[in-house]
Amino acid sequence: MEAIHPQTGALIRKLESIAHLTPEETAALQRLPLRLKTVAADQDIVSEGDTASECCLIVAGFACRYNVTAEGKRQILSFHISGDIADLQSLHLTVMDHSLSALIPCKLAFIQHDDLRALMGGHPRLGDLFWRDTLIEAAVFRQWVVNVGRRPALTRMAHLLCELLVRLRAVALVEDHAFNLPVTQADLADAMALSNVHVNRVSQELRKMGLIAFQGKTLRVLDWEGLKTTGEFDPTYLHLAKKDAL
Amino acid sequence: MEAIHPQTGALIRKLESIAHLTPEETAALQRLPLRLKTVAADQDIVSEGDTASECCLIVAGFACRYNVTAEGKRQILSFHISGDIADLQSLHLTVMDHSLSALIPCKLAFIQHDDLRALMGGHPRLGDLFWRDTLIEAAVFRQWVVNVGRRPALTRMAHLLCELLVRLRAVALVEDHAFNLPVTQADLADAMALSNVHVNRVSQELRKMGLIAFQGKTLRVLDWEGLKTTGEFDPTYLHLAKKDAL
DNA sequence: CGATACGTTGACGGAAATCAACCCCGGTGG
DNA sequence: CCACCGGGGTTGATTTCCGTCAACGTATCG
């Protein structure tokens, strides 16, 4: 009998936010064999071109997936937080078509593909749930396209912050509409396809509007309704099971 | 014994482009019960907010998924061609977070979710293959983000055309580097997050560069290497099984 | 043959990029 | 203890890519 791994706590919370888990399924998740590791800030966890045989669960920290264009511009494709398996797709797409990198020092737990396959074999509903998770991820990418493609900078930033708040709340990392956002403005710029200078200006504007406030690296949402409105934020695309408190 | 449906031909070709199919699997796919339908151009096939109980296979035509922002701007999220199941995600995400629309008159084949589930139950490898297909779709969304976010208009258009050519070739719709592209410049604009005016200019530039030529609605790629280069196109993200002739 | 949709062109405007400072703060080492 | 350093945040001046507007050409079709 394998030990119960507390590092799966956030993962279980996250999965419970998108579907119901039975006690057996929870227990099976907690018994997943993990290879723990910590990485420093700005370090690649998996690089474009790698072929993976394990998936990376974020236990604590902030990571992102990104691509770099020929002109050397970085585009961040998604942010990843506690509870995310940031490269679940590697289960069926062995070659990485992008890189995964730590934005701040991260605690990671690697899970062998074979162990995941065994888990899904024994618990088909978990297989479906992981599939569902990757589909939600794809929905987030779609919104990212809309955001980057068609929304002006102010709306764009508001939308991104709304998404982060809702996702962080699902893993209990939001308290009283405030959460830790330990990334730089340059990171946000690469996520929103803006320049760091413009992110700075837009951030100031959101503060002047009384929607948000920064206390060091923690972001406090002062006017949630206002932020949702200026961000045109509709959480449907996150496909949460519990629609409360949105 | 159900009849064999020729409408699944492109689907089978497409799946074979990303993995091997056994004769039994092919036969099972061909026996899928289909509800055939044709839709006119510019008509929604599935709309945002709908809850689906079937998936939509494109038999012939050109479709797209899109979202509309509060300011009324449309962002096309993906193009869909023969062989694509354009809303496979509805299997696990019942509420549509975007719309699916025909860009030209389309022949469609709807497949009940229950029939797909039965198919995957009897053929687990097909289940994995469908999952893989949605993961590749997600990879395409990621490239779409990079394209829209960080590439200048000329590169952006070249990249999109490269992607379309490779995907169309997988379903045998490319002959001698030429294919039917029956969409308007306004459609391309909404896909690339540009204005239709600018698409027109960029399109002219690609023609002046000798990379492409239009003969009515068919696009001929005159310089495939050149187009790939100006589009910074690397087909890795399409995760094709056969890497030949890229 | 007019209606209509799509492609094309030119003039102008604007949102955001770029460039270049400067500030602030925490860390570090002489 | 303080000078130094470097990363990140902030600001202003200037530029640029692309959007918007408006007109006109062109092809298809009932």
Per-residue pLDDT of chain A (246 residues; tens, 9 = 90+): 568 999 999 999 999 999 999 999 999 999 999 999 999 999 999 999 999 999 999 999 999 999 999 999 999 999 999 999 999 999 999 999 999 999 999 999 999 999 999 999 999 999 999 999 999 999 999 999 999 999 999 999 999 999 999 999 999 999 999 999 999 999 999 999 999 999 999 999 999 999 999 999 999 999 999 999 999 999 999 999 976 556
pLDDT at A244: 58
Cβ A124 to strand C below 7 Å: no
Torsion sign over Cα A87, B82, A146, A10:
negative
Q: Cβ of A141 under 8 Å from any chain B Cβ?
A: yes
Task: Please answer whether residues A148 and B193 qualify as being in contact, where contact means their C-beta atoms are separated by less than 8 angstroms.
Answer: yes
Question: How much is the pTM?
Answer: 0.96
- The domains of chain B, with CATH numbers, are 6-137 (2.60.120.10), 152-238 (1.10.10.10)
Cβ B195 to strand C below 7 Å: no
Interchain contact, B69 vs A232, CB within 8 Å = yes
pLDDT at B43: 95
Site from A67, A76, A99, A142 to mutate, B interface, most B CB atoms within 10 angstroms = A142
Interchain contact, A146 vs B75, CB within 8 Å = yes
**Residue A204: CB atoms within 10 Å:** 10
Interchain contact, A89 vs B193, CB within 8 Å = no
Instruction: List chain B residues with CB under 8 Å of A137.
Output: 138
What's the mean pLDDT when you consider all of chain B? 96
Mean pLDDT, rounded, for B147-169: 98
Task: Please answer whether residues B47 and B6 qualify as being in contact, where contact means their C-beta atoms are separated by less than 8 angstroms.
Answer: no
**A221 secondary structure, DSSP code:** E
Report the residue from B89, B95, B135 with minimal CB separation from A92: B135
| pLDDT tens, position by position, B42-65 | 999 999 999 999 999 999 999 999
The angle at the Cα of B156, spanning B152 to B161, to the nearest 5 degrees, equals 160
Q: Cβ of A196 under 8 Å from any chain B Cβ?
A: no
Residue A128 identity:
D
pLDDT at B3: 83
Task: Tell me which residue of A139, A135, A113 sits closest to A56, measured CA to CA.
Answer: A113
Share of chain B above pLDDT 70, in %: 98
Q: Residue A63 contacts by C-beta under 8 Å, 6 or more apart in sequence?
A: A45, A79, A80, A81, A84, A86, A100, A101, A102, A103, A106
Q: Residue A23 contacts by C-beta under 8 Å, 6 or more apart in sequence?
A: none
The angle at the Cα of B88, spanning B83 to B94, to the nearest 5 degrees, equals 155
Q: Residue B216 contacts by C-beta under 8 Å, 6 or more apart in sequence?
A: none
pLDDT at B104: 96
Mean pLDDT, rounded, for B199-221: 97
Tokens 């998924």, located at residue: B65
Q: How confident is the model at residue B242 (pLDDT cuts 50, 70, 90)?
A: confident
pLDDT at B246: 59
